Amino acid sequence: MFSSRSLGYENLQCLANEKLTQTVAMPLSYDEAWLNLVSQAPITYSIWTQSEECYNCDLEYKAKLFAYDNVSLLLNTAHNIVLEFRNASNSPVCTKVLSLQEHGVYAMNITRKDVCPPLVATNVPDHIYEPLYVVIGLYLSLRLAWWLGSTLYRSPWLSKLFNTNPVIAEIENDLGSPQSSGDSATLLRYSTTAPSTPTSPGPAQMARARVRSLDVLRGVAICLMIFVNYGGGQYAIFEHSAWNGMTLADFVFPWFVWIMGVSLTFSLCSKLRSGASRAHLFLSVLRRSVILIVLGLVISNLNNSDVTKLRYMGVLQRLGLAYLFVASVETFLMRMQPIFTYDSHGILYHARDLIESWPQWLFTLLTAALHTGVTLYMPIPGCPTGYVGPGGKGDHGAHVNCTGGAAALIDRLVLGEEHMYQRPSCKEVYDTVVPFDPEGLLGVLTTIVLMYLGVYAGRVMLCFPKTQPRVIRWLSSATLFCLIGGWLCGFSVEGGLIPINKNLWSLSFVLVTAGSSSVLLSLFLLLVDHWRSWSGSPFHQAGKNAIFLYIGHTLTRHSLPWAWKVTHTHTHTEYTLMNVWGTCLWLLIALYMYERKCFFSV
């Protein structure tokens, strides 16, 4: 692996371990690794590093590596690390991107001839996702055991095995009688009755099945949200993206917005057809929006007693505002009866889900255009017009105070800096110095767009009662939305006209998350309602009380029995155990409330 003038692998490993023994006084924490640099060159190098998560950020000085010496670096393994060696004139002589693993000990042997050496692992790193694999395996095992037990319990073989009079049981089975005794007339009545055949579900049954699929998706979203908000096992994949790009955690809130759009379609249509006036419905929409906003204000300021620094925006506030606009438009524009009922084979009939709602589509397109126009063309004092970067040390520190561009400027003008979120996800990575609210005012516009895309999915369910046309339309729209979103971001993380950005709720972000929502609902419709291969439990029960679980887990996130002080901080195991336990505890509460017919709604 090394030249004859370099250290052998065994000597390099011994030297690295000896250096590590001298420098390490305590065990590594999670997402940490040691890198031991061993120099055989008569040159002094400066070591510069930067996380690859920090896009367009300058490298930062880390250490000095003197000639014929060695140095150990403690590095974070959550994201790739850019490592650079510079000579005495501060010119780069070697730049490498390192992908390190948790608790790994790595070494690099630097020679004059081989100044950009390979990375050597001198121990076996930990497999950080083992706790997650165990949790997933345990859940699947329990589901399999429950299914096997239920199947066995319902099987005729088990009934025969434990029946005290098998002869009578066989006669009764032949006669088709569920009775253990009775006269001949009764037996004759059962024997001559034609076997029942399944009938097609009526409108009420179809509505229940439809809501069940939606509740399963809502339950999955709330469970994932609880797990993420509780810490997500301290895994990077369950953290929000620092700026551009997406993680699994970034999908959760958009799913809720989309689901709310689907639900309001059923609610408003049902009330209109029952004879409620549109003015009365608007007052109901307004009341629900106010309740959501007030609840959001309370939750956003639980630990803040300074009224001069109240945070005005938040998750529920964003939901309330978007719901007010979308539900109001639907209240006054929704048709109670379809307009294409005369020709079930014509083109217009098959496109009625689009044609009947063209005014709402126009409103949605104008909203998307307004958000894009303000974002890209609104002048920002001291910043480039159309800037959508993170500020701080991003863009090589050229726009330190420009975090969020037009979105942040509007919030500062309307809300005031002291009423904005002070710890955005970009602060830790980009060292931002100005506040930025990821649930700010400008993003309400694209939240309205996303909620209306959910309304469209709900309208598909109203217009097409069968599974096949629903799934075809949902998957077709998901493909279209994702392609447009991918085109806007150039099918890349940092490129394109409008990058995917959860903090800004960019248009590309909204389209991609809408596509993912449609795919998931299609999957659950097939599994839960069409094939009936899964009851949706326990997520169905959680989805019936999603707002209660959201408020409850927010109020109790740092208290027993949902959380405790972690003592084993060197791995993800105890964090994962604690966060999974907290999530499961709320699932149990949801199951209990469901059995008690206790449902909380606003």
> Model confidence over 198-213: pLDDT tens digits?
444 433 344 444 468 9
- Are the C-beta atoms of 282 and 328 separated by less than 8 Å? yes
Query: What confidence score (pLDDT) does residue 11 get?
Result: 55
Closest to 37 in 3D by CA, of 119, 96, 92, 93: 119
Predicted confidence at residue 150, as pLDDT, reads 76
Structure tokens at 504: 């800004």
Residue type, 388: V
Residue type, 439: E
Q: What pTM was computed for the model? A: 0.85
Residue 331: predicted pLDDT = 92
Reported as a single tens digit per residue, the pLDDT across 76-110 is: 999 999 999 988 888 888 899 999 998 889 998 88
Name the β-bridge partners of 61: 48
- The residues, any chain, with a CB within 8 Å of residue 304's CB and separated by 6 or more, are 310, 311
Among 323, 295, 207, 259, residue whose Cα is nearest residue 600: 295
Q: 24-33, 223-232, 261-270, 377-386: lowest mean pLDDT where?
A: 24-33
Choose among 292, 328, 334, 296: nearest CA to 312: 296
The CB density around residue 204, as the number of other CB atoms within 10 Å, is 8
Q: What is the pLDDT of residue 304?
A: 81
**pLDDT for 191:** 37
Q: Could you give the CA distance from residue 358 to residue 56 in angstroms, rounded to a whole number?
A: 43
Q: How confident is the model at residue 158 (pLDDT cuts 50, 70, 90)?
A: low
Question: pLDDT value at position 113?
Answer: 61
3-state helix, strand, coil in the chain (%, to 5): 55, 10, 35
Order of strands, sheet of 32-39, starting from the edge strand that comes earlier in the sequence: 70-76, 32-39, 105-110, 120-121
As a whole number, mean pLDDT of residues 486-513 equals 94
CA angle 433, 54, 229 (to 5 degrees): 75
Q: Which residue has the higher pLDDT, 569 or 14?
A: 569
> Across the chain, what does the average pLDDT equal?
84
pLDDT the model gives residue 495: 85
557/488: higher pLDDT: 488
Smallest CA-to-CA distance from 131 within 235, 40, 201 is with 235
In the prediction, which pLDDT does 340 show? 52
Counting every residue written for the chain, the total comes to 602
Q: Which of 111-115, 185-189, 349-353 has the lowest mean pLDDT?
A: 185-189
Q: Indicate which residues carry an active-site annotation.
A: 240
Pair 62, 35: CB distance under 8 Å: no
pLDDT at 170 over 70: no
Average pLDDT over residues 316-325: 96
DSSP state of 530: I
DSSP 383: B
Degrees, nearest 5: CA angle 211-215-220: 155
- Strands in 267-378 per DSSP E: none
The strand pair at 105-110 and 70-76 is best described as unpaired
pLDDT at 31 over 80: yes
- pLDDT of 2 over the 80 cut: no
Helix (H) or strand (E) run with residue 50 in it: strand 45-51
pLDDT given for residue 16 in this prediction: 47
Task: Report the percent of the chain where pLDDT is more than 90.
Answer: 53
- Contact between 116 and 94 under an 8 Å Cβ cutoff? The reply is yes
Least confident of 216-225, 364-373, 401-410, 554-563: 554-563
Residue 178: what pLDDT? 40
Lowest pLDDT segment from 244-248, 349-353, 433-437: 349-353
Domains of the chain as residue ranges with CATH: 28-121 (2.60.40.4150), 212-339+348-596 (no CATH)
